[in-house]
Structure 1
Amino acid sequence: MCGIAGIFQLASEGQPSEAVLAKMNNIQEHRGPDAGDYFFDPGVGLAHRRLSIIDLEGSPQPMLSADQRACIVFNGEIYNFKELHAELESKGYKFNTHGDTETILNAYLEWGEDCVQHLRGMFAFAIWDREKQKLFMARDRIGIKPFFYSLLPTGEFVFGSELKVLTEHPAFDRKLRDTTIEDYFTFGYVPEPYTVYQNSFKLSPGHTLTLEKGMRALPEPKQYWDIPTQWDADLSADEVQGELIERLKQAVDIRLVADVPLGAFLSGGVDSSGIVALMSQLQSDPVNTCAIGFDVKAFNETEFAQMVADRYHTNHRVETVQQTDFDLIDKLAFLYDEPYADSSAMPTYRVCELARKHVTVALSGDGGDELFAGYRRYKMHLHEEKIRNMLPLGLRKPIFGPLGRLYPKMDWAPKFLRAKTTFQSMAMDTVQGYHNSMSILRADERAKLFSKEFQSSLNGYNSLEVFNRYADKVKGLDPMKIAQYLDMKTYLVGDILTKVDRASMAHSLEVRVPILDHKFVEWAFKSPSDHNLHNGIGKYSFKKSLEPHLPHDVLYRKKMGFAVPLADWFKGPLKDRLYDGLLSKQMTESGYFSGKQLKRLIDDHVSGVRDNSAPLWTLMMFESFMRQQLGKAA
């Protein structure tokens, strides 16, 4: 696992500044503390920070191919590199190393841009083809590894593993993109392919980008893979339960190759517990596991993690996060480089910190909820869909539309009375309704929060467009698969994988994600929806398959999630910070917000009228971003 960076004189003359590239590369030293090096060619500079995992001494980067034709910088792991190595060697290619980096290089020389089709793993890389004078870049299918890029006003193309790599260039344009502010306050993150900055982008998962010297504008990236949305027939329940464990076990097994200590996260949830169970069956030594607990019982899952640790005799380590662990707030805003509002980033940061004390590589259970329908919102989505199927939109709009507008938001009330969001969603179609349910601040709440001037600057843009980009892909899917597909293209990559990448790399820890092995995803997404969500039980097919491997209490207990007690924090120890930060000049004079609504959100929460913890955390992280990232440039 590493950090990559580069400068390409795309539409300008001259040579990239070695000092600037070094500054860009060094800002991500945490991603690769073991080594850092550079490659320069006319008009091109490539940089790399290395965290040594495989072939510890023999695979320095940037790396030139044996024939000196191409040079690569690469972040990630290719799990089938040994098979590819043998195949390419049989075709006459020479290898000077025993790692996966040179395998990608030779795969490119053999298959060109189609080399990505042969790679199984997580990756983001750039290859400079000296013969063709082309820069070829690629990101893995699911988006486990990040790739940021921008075409600067100087005509230089810059890229890196983190957004802060780009912002270190003195010519980087820090103007914010208004539409991504709307997106952020809907989702709590900035969805692909955009960043919070006007002229920088994320290379979307499953895409490549090729540049040639002299281009005056950036071409559209090319998609080489997507989650399958059409197949001949659903898998049967028997097929799923008969094959799931063996297929997942293979995905786990190929991720156990490392020349450094390896372990796993063990939260006590189904997904991480399942991964630990399979690891224990695949290796003779006890698995190194780690868990984070809370000193607030309602948020503490360590007893369930301990059940799994005891069953498989793992080397288990637990640390407790104190309820007053507030020092991370500003640190997280720095790590994520753009507004990011998933509060579980705090315990994720701590569990990565704990893991790195003992291992360099950790396996995680991320992806199970999206792939097998584990989120509670899926159940609500299907209930709403049943009503949509009974009543046409022409009837639902006049019935539920007014109810959604007039019904009070009663967060303090019993769940069956909290119907405002449901009423709103019932007046919408499937995709719009799911978007409404997923929103941290719904459209009506964003309208109150944003200033009239900012709303005008959006020119009618609505964050629903993020989902509408995938409208053609989800046609023909059932409502459950629509929600799962949308989550895997947006929430999984923009929130979950982003959270884990930045938190783990802050501690120079590599995280591998077996459930998101693309071959496993291609197979598992065909699992029938009524078997994934069965009799109100989410991830039913996954849980049934794991019954021989995990305690019943771990499999079928109520889902807790990796949460922190925000509502209590904002009424107590963080109350003053809320008022000081959210009502600061930087926020009230930014032009984005209604100062009156900012104060109302805080007052209503502190007084107990409403639970505004989610929007308040979203605002707090935005304020920290503004103060640190934009204040630094002022």
Structure 2
Amino acid sequence: MCGIAGFVGVVDEDAIPMLRRMADAMVHRGPDGEGYATGREFGLAHRRLAVIDRETGDQPMWTPDGRHAIVYNGEVYNYRELRYELKTLGHEFVTNSDTEVVLAAWREWGDRAFDRFNGMFALAIADTESGNVVLARDQFGIKPLYLATAPGGTVVFGSEFRPIFASHLIPRKPDDTTIYRYLRFRVHDDTARTFFDGISRLLPGERAIITPDGTIQRETYTTLFSDMRELAKRREPYNLVVASRFDVELRTAVRRRLVSDVPVGTALSGGLDSSTIVAVTNDLLTGADRDAAAVGRHQQTFSAVFPGQLNDEERYVDALAERCRHSLRVHKVQPHADRFLAELGDFILTQEEPVISTGPYAQYCVMRQAARHVTVMVDGQGADEMMAGYVPYYLVYLRQLWRSGRRGRAARELASSLDVLWRLGRFTVADRINRRSKIPVTSLLSRRFVQSHARERFDVVNDDLKARLQDDIFRHSLQSLLRYEDRNTMRFSVEGRVPFLDTGLLRHLWRHDDEMIIKSGWNKRALRDVTRQLLPPMINRRRNKIGFTTPEEAWFRRMKNSLHEIFTSESFGRRKYFNQAAVVQAFRSYLAGRSSAETMTFWRLLNVELWMRTFIDQDPATIRHDIENILEDAENARPGMHPQAPPKDDYVPNGGKNLHTPDRRWARYPLRCDLVSKGDSIAALATARVEEFFEGLPGASPEALIPVDAAARWYLYVSEKIVAISQGRSFFTWEVHPGWWAKRLSRHVVKTPHGIGLGDPTTMQLAIDEIGLGRILVASGASLAGKAVGKRGLFYQIAGPGVRAIDGPTEYSAYPANVSAKLAPADPYGAAGRISAAIRARLPESITRRFGGTVIIDANDIGQNILGHDTGLPDRLLTAAFVDNPLGQGRQQTPLAVVFTGFPVSVWDGQDDQSTPVNPAYSGDLALLDAAGDEERQSSGESGAS
């Protein structure tokens, strides 16, 4: 398995550097080697994943006369038979690789050779005399190949899009038609078009000849499609002899795909198809079959499980493992929503185009785990499309029987299939009973976007079973699944093999009556018959098709805050595809249970947005390093921790911030902590973090410390956000229902890049609920009157600091601040006192005697608002410490700060305050603070804290 790329035509730069860039963009497809070939106006690049003939199978590979060169991605499983035949025709071979056989076969038979290959392949063969390059893709389209014509006429091709972009010849532009069909009809990979404007895919069974002048001649080389249509007319009876032959074909297909010079494993979902592959492989191992040697003594299987979820299939995995208990080593992975969020960037980059649902992420996780143990993975992809594995196929078959006049048979099949068909319609019935509204996809899209693509259609065969299956194999659903598998396997340098996609097996199935596929309410009839003794009954007789997916409903509710952030983001609103207001409202209705919108609908919207950010808004080549760093953090992803929040040492500032104020009177040390929830004790959290801070001082880097006075006092500053959240005074935006006044008044509030304030209906409604509509209206009127005479700030003088502290959702903040609105903390002075009391009770006296108290502050990059404190100092001095907001304005997750009027030269040592000389540079500041503190305490009658 490999990656190929190249060009045909004239390029302005030296060809080799360009080819190297293209190869480097797909190094994951072939970490074992690279190779290049250039000729008359063409260039070929290859990255190798060595699976067969690891010693002598390097590419590009040349014919003995040096005229033709090939780069090839895939495996031709009947290469040994072809090699023998070619030898009888006079060909000589110097390697044991299938690549050399493929090239020799093409030299012998031309394009007709492609239809003789049983396997998977995408290849390019260059002719040094004519300069022509031939591209070809296997009959099923298992291996991908893309091509595009540059503005100057040069044609560029590759196994993925990134090598094409790495040529610097092809611009990155979205294809709006493909995006519309994906959003509207939930389809993709069904035509030659891709999500990138100007880049097309070579279709299954297609060959293209590219000439140096940029001409592309494309045509279907295979006869498989027409043969299937003719075979379907024969309808030979299905019987035990036919079933026996099917069993032989199936075992042959599996055996061929186990041949390898590297370890082979199997994917096991727990369904009928993958279980069959595992069980057949187990039989081959038991019989010491030579072709299965690469599997090893014990077959290694890899499964995604979701304990406690409706789609969990672990019990089926365990049942098969019990049946094959002497030969299996079962590896299980448990994908979860938090890690999915952390890895979403890499998943988008891996797939290169949007996907239908989050389901392919489960396969992504399985392949990552498999890569730690094997290099080749075999699975059951394709059986559903070949043998009617999905419930809608029952309806197609019933219509076919009715249309053809076999109505008695149709009635019997309907009666036998009622339990399966009920599962198809139960959600629609439930929605009608619960009166949940259906949300049309088009209502979530821009009206202009919908109108411009109104002529697009997606039609399917609905009354001819084999015609429908053939369409789904070669044009519709299977093509997208094969793309997912190719990207997920190759992302982790694993070769994926699919035994069911075997031309011999397919032809045998197609020449017989449809009863071989569906009979008496049972789909995959032949497969069930030949595995009746091979599989546990709970697998062989399963009727509930789940598929390789994730618990998407549960995940979306867990991820709802991050999804809401994306849907409400500025970039989402700028896209010409979406009706942002309708999407946000629909998502909120879905969360509240008022609509029956599918999670896959929201996923498609989300996926397009993230794909645009990754591939269109920026060069994907520039973000790989950042994603690799995120993936390292994802290994330890925890619920609630935002995946983009980087860790921070206690003794360094936040990014873009300083440890000290511009006037150098205050030193601030932001402390990072986990996210806070309702009911958490801020006093306990603050005390623990402050204790950690002082315990770490002896080992802190000297460069991180500001060497000033050892006698300086220190204070703890606490963001009002976490206090409000812990008190239950933070509300997700969809939990607040703005009234008429809130919607109208919020329109007149000026929003800034630093915060939304009351400029959102949700925050305005909170303000109304907090102090009453009357006071808000009075404050608004006074504000208008004040502005008329040049006086500002009257609104908050009347509304009060509690209203001033109300925060709205901002997309740059850490969750949950990015999707919530917050009131000011209740009793902030009392909260400050309780935090200080906890600190004094836990920390040693050598530290607490210099502790000046706690400050609850509402700060951002344009202002500070002291809500409560127990320091005895005037607010004007306390705000001076936060003049530049050291806590940050984004995802820093540093809501606490230890703040000094300076920093000790030596670590707290238990000596009294007079033991260390005062630094003259700070003596005046200390005197000012002491004097201010004495004045404040005298006027308030409080004793203060020393």
User: TM-score, with normalisation over the residues of structure 1?
Assistant: 0.86
Structure 1 stretches of 5 or more lacking a match? 391-410, 421-441, 468-473
Q: 1:77 matched to which residue of 2?
A: 75
The offset of 1:381, in angstroms, is 3.9
Alpha-carbon separation, structure 1, partners of 2:372 and 2:179? 37
Which shows bigger deviation, 149-158 or 579-588?
A: 579-588
- Residue aligned with 2:566, SS: helix
* Residue of structure 1 equivalent to 2:333: 319
Secondary structure (helix, strand or coil) at the match of 2:440 reads: helix
Q: Is the 8 A contact 1:192 1:203 kept in 2?
A: no
The equivalent of 1:456 in structure 2 is 451
The question of 1:259 aligning with 2:261 is answered yes
| SS across alignment from 2:522 | coil
How far did 1:14 drift?
A: 6.0
Letter aligned with residue 274 of structure 1: T
CA gap 1:343/1:527 in 2 versus in 1, 3 angstroms = farther
Aligned to 2:500, the other structure's residue is in SS state helix
Match of 1:552 in 2: 537
Distance 1:25 1:387, change over 3 A: same
Instruction: Judge conservation of contact 2:246–2:508 (CA < 8 Å) in 1.
Output: no
Question: Are the equivalent residues in 1 in contact too, given 2:266–2:379 (CA < 8 A)?
Answer: yes
User: Which residue of structure 2 aligns with residue 364 of structure 1?
Assistant: 379
2:209 is matched with 210
Name the aligned partner's letter for residue 296 of structure 1.
G
Change (3 A) 1:415 1:341: closer
> What is the DSSP-based 3-state SS (H/G/I as helix, E as strand, rest coil) of the residue aligned with 1:268?
coil
Instruction: Verify the 8 A CA contact 1:184 1:190 in the aligned structure 2.
Output: no
CA-CA distance at 1:384 after TM superposition: 6.2
Q: CA deviation at 1:385?
A: 6.4
Residue 336 of structure 1: aligned partner? 351
For 1:447, the equivalent position in structure 2 comes to 442
Which residue of the partner structure matches residue 4 of structure 1? 4
Where does residue 430 of structure 1 map in the other structure?
none
Query: Which of 544, 547, 567 in structure 2 is aligned with 1:582?
Result: 567
Deviates more, 1:623-632 or 1:554-563: 554-563
For 1:353, give the aligned amino acid.
Answer: R
1:52-201 matches, within 5 Å, as 52-185=50-183, 186-201=185-200
How much has 1:260 moved relative to structure 2? Answer: 0.7
TM-score for the superposition, normalised by structure 2: 0.58
Shift of 1:146: 0.5
Contact 1:296 1:323 in 2 (8 A): no
Partner Cα separation in structure 2 for residue 587 and residue 449 of structure 1: 12
Q: Does 1:286 align with 2:303?
A: no
What is the CA distance between 1:413 and its match in structure 2?
Answer: 9.7
The answer on whether the counterparts of 1:159 and 1:166 sit within 8 Å (CA) in structure 2 is yes
- Is 1:615 the equivalent of 2:608? no
Contact 2:382 2:478 in 1 (8 A): no
**1:264-311 Cα shifts (integer Å, max 9, x gaps):** 111111011111111122233332222221133322212211222222
Q: Deviations over 1:423-452 (max 9, x none)?
A: xxxxxxxxxxxxxxxxxxx9x934323222
Residue 498, structure 1, aligned to residue 498, structure 2 = no
In 1, distance between residues paired with 2:186 and 2:402? 25
- Residue 500 of structure 1, CA deviation: 0.8
Q: Is the 8 A contact 1:8 1:16 kept in 2?
A: no
Whether contact under 8 Å (2:399, 2:463) holds in the other structure is no
TM-superposition CA deviations, 1:75-124 (whole Å, max 9, x none): 00011111212222222222221101111111111112222122111000
Q: What letter is aligned with 1:454?
A: F
Given that 1:178 and 1:457 are in contact with CA atoms closer than 8 Å, whether structure 2 keeps it comes out as: no
Give the % identical residues. 30
Distance in 1 (CA, whole Å) between partners of 2:366 and 2:105 is: 36
The offset of 1:623, in angstroms, is: 1.2
Distance 1:452 1:106, change over 3 A: same
Task: Read off the aligned partner of 2:256 and give its amino acid letter.
Answer: I
CA distance in 2, matches of 1:14, 1:123: 31
Q: After superposition, where does 1:382-421 map in structure 2 within 5 Å?
A: 382=397, 414-415=426-427, 417=429
Whether the aligned pair in 2 keeps the contact of 1:24 and 1:168 (CA below 8 Å) is yes
> Deviation at 1:383?
5.2
Q: Distance in 1 between matches of 2:612 and 2:109?
A: 45
Q: Are positions 1:248 and 2:234 aligned together? A: no
User: What amino acid does structure 2 have at the position aligned with 1:235?
Assistant: E
**One-letter amino acid of the structure 2 residue matched with residue 500 of structure 1:** E
* Paired residue type of 2:190: P
Q: Secondary structure at the match of 1:515?
A: coil
Which amino acid in 2 is paired with 1:198?
Answer: D
Q: For residues 526 and 419 of structure 1, what CA distance do their matches in structure 2 show?
A: 42
Q: Is the Cα–Cα contact under 8 Å of residues 183 and 191 in structure 1 kept in the other structure?
A: no
Amino acid at match of 1:161: S
- Range with greater deviation from structure 2 (271-280 or 17-26): 17-26
Q: Is the 8 A contact 1:601 1:616 kept in 2?
A: no
Distance change (3 Å), C-alpha of 1:531 and 1:3: same
For residues 136 and 506 of structure 1, the distance between their equivalents in structure 2, rounded to whole angstroms, comes to 27
SS at match of 1:464: coil
Kindly state the Cα deviation for residue 414 of structure 1 after the two structures are TM-superposed.
Answer: 4.4
Q: 1:6–1:351: structure 2 CA closer, same or farther, 3 Å change rule?
A: same
Counterpart in the other structure of 1:235: 236
Counterpart code for 1:174:
R
Q: Which residue of 1 aligns with 2:888?
A: none
- The residue identity in structure 2 corresponding to 1:244 is F
Contact 1:25 1:165 in 2 (8 A): yes
Q: Alpha-carbon deviations, 1:477-515, whole Å to 9, x = none?
A: 952223212211233443211111100111111111111
Residue 375 (structure 1) aligned with residue 390 (structure 2) = yes
Equivalent in the alignment of 2:864: none
In structure 2, C-alpha distance between the alignment counterparts of 1:222 and 1:514, rounded to whole Å: 23
Structure 1 pair 188/295, CA: closer, same or farther in 2 (3 Å)?
A: farther
Superposition map of 1:525-536 within 5 A: 525-536=510-521
How far apart in 2 are the matches of 1:151 and 1:58? 34
Q: Any conservation in 2 of the 1:146–1:161 contact (CA below 8 Å)? A: yes
2:553 to 567, 575, 586: 567
Which of 1 and 2 has higher RCO (CA within 8 Å, sep 6+)? 1
* Count, aligned residues: 578
Which one-letter code corresponds to 2:616 in the other structure?
L
SS of the residue corresponding to residue 600 of structure 1 reads: helix
Flag the 1:611–1:57 CA change in 2: closer, same or farther, 3 A: same
Note the alpha carbon deviations across 1:171-227, whole angstroms, 9 max, x for none. Answer: 212222221112211225343311112211000001100122224x43333342443
The alignment status of 1:310 with 2:322, answered yes or no, reads yes
SS at the partner of 2:305?
strand
Q: Does 1:602 align with 2:587?
A: yes
Mapped contact 1:7–1:16 kept (Cα < 8 A): no
In the alignment, what sits opposite 1:41?
39
When Rg is computed on C-alpha atoms for both structures, the one with the higher figure is 2
Change (3 A) 1:445 1:520: same
Shift of 1:42: 2.4
| CA distance in structure 1 between the aligned counterparts of 2:94 and 2:428, rounded to whole angstroms | 65
Judge conservation of contact 1:95–1:102 (CA < 8 Å) in 2.
Answer: yes
Deviation of the 1:316 alpha carbon: 2.1
- Runs (5+) with no aligned partner, structure 2: 289-296, 406-422, 433-437, 621-946
